[in-house]
Structure 1
Amino acid sequence: MTDSIHYELQYLDLMRRIWTGGDERVDRTGVGTRSLFGETMRFSLRDDAIPLLTTKRVYWKTALRELLWFLTGDTNIRALVSQGVRIWTDWPLDRYRRETGEAISAEEFERRIIGDDAFAAAWGDLGPVYGHQWVNWPLYEAAEGGLFRRAEAGHNQIAALIASLRNNPGSRRHIFTAWNVADLNQMALPPCHMTYQFHVRSDGGLSCLLFQRSCDLGLGFAFNIFEAALLTRMIAEQCGLHAHELVWTGGDVHLYLNHGELVEEQLKRTPEGAPRLRILRRPASIFDYKFEDFAVEAYTPQAHIPAPVAV
């Protein structure tokens, strides 16, 4: 998108095209969607730009906490709900209700997750989802009898990526992914934003291409695009580069049929403003950033639009 055209207009155009002309079909959740396949958007990251949606409020602080959680490699929701972040609760809660038959509320479930170590260990883990694959991709070592066993320490893709960007910026192999075929059936939800590739320009500009196999455009996208841009900014800083552009490509890009009110309301609104993200401190490692190291400025979004999450 050119600087004279607001970056969010491409998002609203895609939303409109899906809602008015998308293929309507049954999906995994049973809710039903309208979808298009193979869509791309581009967002400038120059001059501290950050692609926060302005036609509705995006709770960027929650998204920031989620990204920092990914980088720890943790896969238990306890650390998130302890910070008031509830975006992952629905999946382990649904499993608990199905397997125990107890009609527990989300609030009571989270209270037990925070207060009971054994309960959190049994019911709070999501399996080897994003963070685990990012920083602890399973490795195997030889064992007795010609067999192999999983090594205690896995491969840290993020650390390897940063080393590669620093030492060989012209490489075409600056990639990390969460799509570990061997682990998919153990995950509460297979990775949606699954593969990231980075490219270094001759002027030191760092761009990221994110491939997202499945995108809930009404709800999930706002977090996905903010976190990808934030991660690109963090990696650029750690590598002595400057952020240039984020290219987002979606496979199945969809709107849920029960999100009609959200879609109709958001399409009435006009995007405005140019929010900026500032990183206030450069720690020694990408794994040492803290919540207070980030500030979003000039973000004046329109009102939040609620919509249900399909589990």
Structure 2
Amino acid sequence: MKQYLDLCTHIIENGTVKEDRTGTGTISVFGYQMRYDLQNGFPLMTTKKTAFRLIATELLWFLKGDTNIRTLIHDKNPIWDEWGFERWVNSDEYSGPDMTDFGRRCLKDEEFDAIYKVEMANYKKRIIEDDEFAAKYGDLGPIYGKQWRSWSTGDNVIDQISALITGIKTNPDSRRHLVTAWNPSEVSDMALPPCHAMFQFYVAEGKLSCQLYQRSADVFLGVPFNIASYALLVHLIAQECNLAVGEFIHTLGDAHIYLNHMDQVKEQLSRTPKQLPTLHLHMGDKSIFDLSIDDLEIEGYDPHPRIKAPIAV
């Protein structure tokens, strides 16, 4: 994963300190590209332990067209918890303790952090147990799954992923194998506008490659997940289309390190990358839309220990 470590170094050495939506502050560069040959192993970060199960269950959630975190909570996947919780505590129906700016306050105030954890646990419990509450406060709006599988244009609904697979199978040399999550008419209704905004597939010599354009890249927390998620997507689409895997090309717009992640990034840069693991798919006759985490296996993953850092909401 030298490509990723080179990105971190490039941002530290060449980045501009900027304000951001969360109020945390970043050091940022604009425009950067990394390439991963998927024939050389599965690009799951080895300089810090990265949870493949969370990456995979999130991607399967997208592929099913789901936008409600109830599914992720069932799968013990907390990736989107904060954005669902934020919608709840900012609603007129919420009457509990003040949760304003809960992400940063948890880091500075142990007493508040304890209160937050109770409120978050109560929120997740209600999502699981209360259908009406889950429908209202578990849904994150028309985020990735909605745009990938049911993009609405008036009376028409477009399943971009199914169309992508059909296109690759029937016209592999087409230059139109694209999927976009950036729907300008619905961005304001999303809990978080799509960071990984558009991707394109390419077939050559029996191999399937993918280039992702990511408009906003949280380099320490988000990008390692994005790399593995889209590498997994290439494997799944390739299997569905009877192709080998080629490259994953990761093109970044605003690539940034949050200022409260700098110590963690420097710790990661001090570590030596290890051999990449191998991905095994046990799909059988299943479509990629019917897979579960039990159908995916990572072998030979021996990373350095996890490095914790706060998420900016």
TM-score (norm 1): 0.91
The reply to whether residue 102 of structure 1 matches residue 96 of structure 2 is yes
**Greater than 4 Å deviation, 4+ residue runs:** none
* Whole-angstrom distance in 1 between the partners of 2:3 and 2:240: 30
Sequence identity of aligned pairs in percent? 47
* Whole-angstrom distance in 2 between the partners of 1:25 and 1:252: 11
* Whole-angstrom distance in 1 between the partners of 2:133 and 2:80: 16
Aligned ranges 1:117-156 → 2 under 5 Å: 117-141=131-155, 151=156, 154-156=157-159
Count the aligned residue pairs. Answer: 291
* Whole-angstrom distance in 2 between the partners of 1:26 and 1:274: 35
Q: Deviations over 1:101-145 (max 9, x none)?
A: 42362112111111111111121110000000000010323xxxx
Contact 1:238 1:282 in 2 (8 A): no
Aligned ranges 1:1-311 → 2 under 5 Å: 8-46=1-39, 49-99=41-91, 100-103=94-97, 105-141=119-155, 151=156, 154-201=157-204, 203-311=205-313
* Whole-angstrom distance in 1 between the partners of 2:148 and 2:237: 14
* Whole-angstrom distance in 1 between the partners of 2:31 and 2:285: 37
Report deviation, 1:193.
0.8
Q: Which residue of 1 aligns with 2:105?
A: none
Name the aligned partner's letter for residue 230 of structure 1.
L
* Whole-angstrom distance in 2 between the partners of 1:281 and 1:98: 41
RMSD: 1.2
Unaligned runs of 5+ in 2: 98-115
Deviates more, 1:279-288 or 1:239-248: 279-288
Report deviation, 1:290.
1.9
Q: Which residue of 2 aligns with 1:4?
A: none
* Whole-angstrom distance in 2 between the partners of 1:20 and 1:257: 14
